[in-house]
């Protein structure tokens, strides 16, 4: 079973629900996407090195097998949901 993939889909679902429920609308702001691009750039460099060098090895039984470079797609999506949820919650309580 692809547990990592399923957990990533659940976290993405809750990210979009949280943004709509709390009405922060973070996911609709262009500055957010610029911020995510910068984060993913550094994620690609660091995580790409770790997965490419064999320091971090993923069991293919737990993810769908799609990679961007040497990084599983799920890592990018999970990182997106964790960073997004943090910003959504921060913006909500900042009010």
The pLDDT tens digits of the residues spanning 38-72 come to: 999 999 999 889 988 989 888 888 888 889 888 88
**Helix 30-52 crosses helix 73-94 at what angle (to 10 degrees)?**
140
Are 18 and 85 a contacting pair, CB within 8 Å? yes
The residue extents of the domains of the chain are 3-94
The rounded distance, in Å, linking the Cα atoms of 29 and 8 is 23
Type and span of the H or E element at 71: strand 71-72
Predicted pLDDT at 45: 92
For the chain, give the mean pLDDT: 92
């Amino acid at each position: 079973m692809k547990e990592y993939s399923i957990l990533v889909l659940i976290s993405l679902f809750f990210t979009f629900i949280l943004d709509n429920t709390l009405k922060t609308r973070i996911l609709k702001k262009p500055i957010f996407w610029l911020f995510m691009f910068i984060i993913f750039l550094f994620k690609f460099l660091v995580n790409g090195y770790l997965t490419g060098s064999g320091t971090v090895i993923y069991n293919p039984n737990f993810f769908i097998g799609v990679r961007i470079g040497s990084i599983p797609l799920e890592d990018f999506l999970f990182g997106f949901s964790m960073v997004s949820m943090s910003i959504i919650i921060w913006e909500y309580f900042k009010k």
